[in-house]
């Protein structure tokens, strides 16, 4: 009887150990495995007929904690109002061809640092170039991504610094109207806004982007922390712009450092129009 009992205990433990090892193998694929993980698809229950938007907020560089959280709070409300199917995830495993093919727009919510591996980068590049939509917010346009293709083709402006004396200043944005962005007419010609103003080495205009808002630097101090960052961009200082990257549409706003900014209805409207534009296939870029 005792022997039989021990036998069953051993059998029982053996079964669970085997199960545990099995599930561990299933969760952690070997590093040499190049097959993308599409297992999230079944969990997400996406329908290609919906307007699918992915809010991706992974930050491996500077973490805009408050802003990321604030955007994660308002986007579900916006999505409900706009009838988008919103997926909120910081899982880079979503960047596989099969999974991305469901999304009309991918929002990079203050994404900083390197968050995608080389295969995911290639997949995301292909997603944009074959017609995917991209909306980048603030930190997504800084210099932390270490991805040349992204800097040159998605953001199209290399970040230099932001002012530190003081870090946050109220500036005036001036609208540069353009018929290609359908909502441009609904936004004010002058927009007073507090921000950690990004300074770029050059305007993305020279690489074919259309600027929606320029910053008036005249009453601002653009001095950064380091000695070689004591400058501003002068009269041509873009903050919001957009363009086509091959068949895909890219919209970027350097606004969005603080969590409180996401309460502003006009800023929310800008994000809404950006997402609606980036994923609208009937709007042609060229």
Q: Output 95 or 200, the one with its CB closest to Zn ion.
A: 200
Structure tokens at 73: 């709070």
Helix (H) or strand (E) holding 6: helix 2-27
Q: How many CB atoms lie within 10 A of CB 174?
A: 15
Residue 257 beta carbon to Zn ion: minimum distance, rounded to whole angstroms: 4
Q: Output 104 or 196, the one with its CB closest to Zn ion.
A: 196
Structure tokens at 178: 């353009």
Q: Which of 257, 274, 275, 276 binds Zn ion (CB under 5 A)?
A: 257
Annotate 215-239 with DSSP letters as a single string: EE-TT-----SSTT-----TT--EE
Q: How many CB atoms lie within 10 A of CB 146?
A: 10
Pairing, β 169-175 against β 210-216: antiparallel
Q: Output 36 or 141, the one with its CB closest to Zn ion.
A: 141
Binding residues for Zn ion, rule CB under 5 A, total: 2
Q: How many CB atoms lie within 10 A of CB 87?
A: 22
Q: Output 161 or 257, the one with its CB closest to Zn ion.
A: 257
Dist. CA 216–CA 4, nearest whole Å? 84
- Residue owning tokens 């199209």: 156
Question: Considering the rule CB under 5 A, would residue 195 count as an interface residue with Zn ion?
Answer: no
Span from 15-23, 69-77, 228-236, 253-261 in contact with Zn ion (CB under 5 A): 253-261
Q: Taking the alpha carbons of 6, 8, 13, 14 in that order, is the dihedral positive or negative?
A: positive
Span from 13-21, 34-42, 84-92, 190-198 in contact with Zn ion (CB under 5 A): 190-198
Q: Output 243 or 257, the one with its CB closest to Zn ion.
A: 257
- Which residue's Cβ lies closest to Zn ion? 257
Q: Output 65 or 235, the one with its CB closest to Zn ion.
A: 65
Span from 121-129, 193-201, 221-229, 263-271 in contact with Zn ion (CB under 5 A): 193-201
C-alpha separations of 162 from 129, 235, 260 in Å = 30, 16, 19
Residue 142 beta carbon to Zn ion: minimum distance, rounded to whole angstroms: 8
Residue 64 beta carbon to Zn ion: minimum distance, rounded to whole angstroms: 5
Question: Considering the rule CB under 5 A, would residue 196 count as an interface residue with Zn ion?
Answer: yes
Dist. CA 235–CA 218, nearest whole Å? 8
User: Which residues, 6 or more positions from 143, have their beta carbon under 8 angstroms from its beta carbon?
Assistant: 151, 158, 159, 160
Residue 139 beta carbon to Zn ion: minimum distance, rounded to whole angstroms: 5
Span from 189-197, 219-227, 238-246, 276-284 in contact with Zn ion (CB under 5 A): 189-197
Span from 16-24, 85-93, 150-158, 255-263 in contact with Zn ion (CB under 5 A): 255-263
Q: Output 249 or 257, the one with its CB closest to Zn ion.
A: 257
Question: Considering the rule CB under 5 A, would residue 104 count as an interface residue with Zn ion?
Answer: no
Which residues are at the interface with Zn ion (CB under 5 A)? 196, 257
């Amino acid at each position: 009887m005792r022997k039989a009992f021990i036998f069953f205990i051993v059998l029982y433990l053996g079964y669970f150990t085997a199960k545990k090892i099995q599930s561990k193998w299933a969760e952690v694929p070997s590093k040499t495995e190049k097959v993308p993980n599409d297992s999230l698809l079944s969990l997400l229950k996406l329908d290609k007929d919906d307007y699918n938007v992915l809010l991706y907020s992974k930050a491996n560089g500077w973490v805009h904690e408050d802003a990321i959280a604030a955007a994660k709070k308002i986007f579900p409300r916006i999505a409900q109002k706009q009838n988008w199917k919103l997926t909120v995830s910081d899982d880079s495993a979503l960047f596989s061809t099969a999974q991305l093919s469901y999304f009309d727009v991918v929002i990079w919510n203050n994404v900083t640092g390197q968050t995608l591996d080389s295969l995911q980068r290639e997949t995301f590049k292909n997603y944009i170039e074959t017609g995917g939509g991209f909306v980048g917010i603030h930190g997504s346009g800084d210099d932390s991504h270490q991805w040349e293709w992204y800097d040159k083709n998605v953001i199209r402006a290399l970040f230099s610094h932001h002012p530190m004396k003081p870090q946050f200043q109220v500036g005036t944005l001036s609208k540069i109207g353009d018929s290609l962005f359908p909502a441009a007419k609904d936004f004010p010609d002058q927009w007073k806004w507090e921000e950690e103003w990004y300074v770029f080495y050059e305007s993305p205009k020279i690489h074919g982007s259309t600027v929606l808002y320029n910053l008036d630097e005249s009453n601002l101090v653009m001095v950064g922390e380091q000695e070689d960052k004591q400058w501003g961009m002068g009269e041509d200082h873009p903050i919001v712009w957009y363009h086509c990257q091959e068949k895909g549409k890219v919209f970027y706003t350097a606004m969005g450092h603080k969590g409180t900014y996401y309460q502003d209805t006009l800023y929310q409207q800008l994000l809404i129009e950006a997402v609606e534009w980036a994923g609208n296939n009937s709007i042609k870029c060229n």
